[in-house]
Structures are given as C-alpha cells and as structure tokens.
C-alpha cells in the first residue's frame, strides 16, 4: 500500500529557532501533499496544500511566512516552522495523494513539535 | 456550526461487541467519505473509503453513507482491545484525494 514517511517524529526546539519537517511518499509519486495540524484531543486542521513545482496554497488564518512549504520533487515536501514560539507546539501531519484516479489520502505518522 | 459533526465519546464497549460510530455533515457537495483510525501520537490510518450513498464491507468493518440524510456510519464487529483508538470521519468534494474535512473524532475503548 501507499506509504508516507515523515521525519522527524519528535523535535524539541528553543523559541526563535526554525524547524524543518520532511514528508516523503515512499512508493509513489505525489504532485500534491497536504499539511495538517492537530492540537491535543482535537481533530486535524488543514494548514496548506503543497503542489510540486509551484507555490503552496494556504488555508485562511495560516501565516505563509511562518510556515514555509517547499515541494521540490514528486516525493518530497517540507514544512519549515520559522521563528518558532511555544504556541506553535503541536502535532504536524502530512498526507499525500497518489496520482491514480480517486485514490484516498494516506497520512504520515506525524511530527510532534515542542517549542520551549 | 461545524461542517462535520462527530460525537467525541469516549465510547466504551466490552470486547466482542459491535462498535457503532457516526458523523453528520452539512455540505451537500461532499461525495467521498472516509474513516480513519488514529492511535495516540500516530498519524491517521485509512480504514474505509466510500463514494456517494450505499454500504461497503471490509472484514469486520462496515461503512454506510446516506447522502439524503447527510449521515455516515462505521460499524466494527467483534471488537478487540486493539480497536481502542480515535476514529475520524473525513469527507471531500470532487475527488477522494482532494483536501479533507474531518470530524472531531470519537474515542473508542474496548475493554477485555
């Protein structure tokens, strides 16, 4: 089945630093990937749609200059949290879409970010 | 009002019982309906995927969609302690691989 790998699974950083999270589709090509954020005991909230070779599309209320997304290849999208603050601490999850007709989304195992 | 409503639970059942989960939604444009299982500190795992109204069965899992009522269900037969997790319904319009709108998730506890 479709496998989406996310790295790192857990990261702690100091306030003001930047953190990069990688999302890879291991056995398929994905022109579109999605980045979600999940707070404790809450559901997933879509942050942005990442498109290979073009700019990401951000959801309303998500700061594009703070959450930088790069989708430079058909198997890799990265999310960089710039100048992180404690309120950015959350569980970040990516998903990727297979390019076969009407394939559902598969998710990575998430990255737990803690900003101290 | 949220686009997708889901009872947060927790729903506690004895091992071997049927688990019944459901979601209601308001957006009539939704055509693709998914159920995901999420263990603590893990990403969602796709369980079932259906298009439009109808039933779909896969092993112990049965998904039902009633578009006229804007209501979807997931049934888990012969529940096991390993089924203890949070179950998320998700929906999309246009295509299954479009961006998803999630319900809040229902926490399920299966007691041995």
At A63-83, the pLDDT tens digits run 999 999 999 899 999 999 999
Q: What is the SS3 assignment for A92?
A: strand
- Chain-chain contact of A105 with B46 (C-beta, under 8 angstroms): yes
CB contact residues (below 8 A), chain B span 88-107, against chain A: 88, 95-97, 99-105
In what helix (H) or strand (E) does residue A2 lie, and over which residues does it extend? none
pLDDT confidence of residue B84: 98
Return the closest-CA partner of residue B108 out of B88, B90, B84: B84
Q: What is the SS3 assignment for A55?
A: coil
Fill in the DSSP letter of residue B42: S
User: How many other C-beta atoms lie within 10 A of the C-beta of residue B16?
Assistant: 11
What average pLDDT does this structure show over A54-59?
92
The two tokens of residue A76 are: 């890799």
pLDDT confidence of residue A46: 93
Q: List, in sequence order, every residue forming a beta bridge with B111; answer none if it has no partner.
A: B14
pLDDT confidence of residue A116: 96
CA distances from residue A75 to A24, A30, A90, B57 in whole angstroms, order as listed: 5, 6, 24, 32
Using a CB-CB distance cutoff of 8 angstroms, which residues of chain B are in contact with residue A45? 102
- pLDDT band of A54, cuts 50, 70, 90: confident
Q: Is the pLDDT of residue B54 over 70?
A: yes
What average pLDDT does this structure show over B55-59?
95
Q: Which of A46, A103, A107 sits opposite B97 (nearest CB)?
A: A103
Residues 6+ apart with CB under 8 A from B69: none
Fill in the DSSP letter of residue B81: G
- pLDDT band of A28, cuts 50, 70, 90: confident
Q: How far apart are CA A69 and CA B67, in angstroms?
A: 36
CA distances from residue B25 to A8, A64, B28, B96, B99 in whole angstroms, order as listed: 34, 29, 8, 16, 16
Q: How far apart are CA A43 and CA B3, in angstroms?
A: 13
At B59-96, the pLDDT tens digits run 999 999 999 999 999 999 999 999 999 999 999 987 76
Q: How far apart are CA B33 and CA A74, in angstroms?
A: 26
Sheet of B4-6, strand order: B4-6, B19-25, B71-76, B61-66, B54-58
pLDDT confidence of residue B96: 62
Q: Is the pLDDT of residue A8 over 90?
A: yes
Q: Is B44 on the interface with A (CB under 8 A)?
A: yes
- Chain-chain contact of B44 with A107 (C-beta, under 8 angstroms): yes
CB contact residues (below 8 A), chain A span 3-62, against chain B: 4, 6, 32, 34, 41-46, 49
The two tokens of residue A106 are: 């598969």
- Answer whether B42's CB lies under 8 Å from B50's CB: no
């Amino acid at each position: 089945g479709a496998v989406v790998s996310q790295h790192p699974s857990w990261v702690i950083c100091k306030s003001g630093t930047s953190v990069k999270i990688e999302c890879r589709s291991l056995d398929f090509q994905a022109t579109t990937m999605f980045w979600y954020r999940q707070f404790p005991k809450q559901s997933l909230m879509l942050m942005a749609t990442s498109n290979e070779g073009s700019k990401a599309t951000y959801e309303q209320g998500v700061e594009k200059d703070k959450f930088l997304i790069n989708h430079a290849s058909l198997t890799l999208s990265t999310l960089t949290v710039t100048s992180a603050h404690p309120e950015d601490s959350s569980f970040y999850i990516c998903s990727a879409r297979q390019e076969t007709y009407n394939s559902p989304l598969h998710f990575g195992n998430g990255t737990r970010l803690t900003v101290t | 009002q949220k686009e997708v409503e889901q009872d947060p639970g927790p729903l506690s059942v004895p091992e071997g019982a049927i688990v019944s989960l459901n979601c209601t939604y308001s957006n009539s444009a939704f055509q693709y309906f998914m159920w995901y299982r999420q263990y603590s500190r893990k990403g969602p795992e796709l369980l079932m995927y259906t298009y439009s109204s109808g039933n779909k069965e896969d092993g112990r899992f049965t998904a039902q969609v009633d578009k006229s009522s804007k209501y979807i269900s997931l049934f888990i037969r012969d529940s096991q302690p390993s089924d203890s997790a949070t179950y998320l319904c998700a929906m999309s319009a246009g295509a299954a691989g479009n961006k998803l709108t999630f319900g809040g998730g229902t926490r399920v506890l299966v007691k041995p």
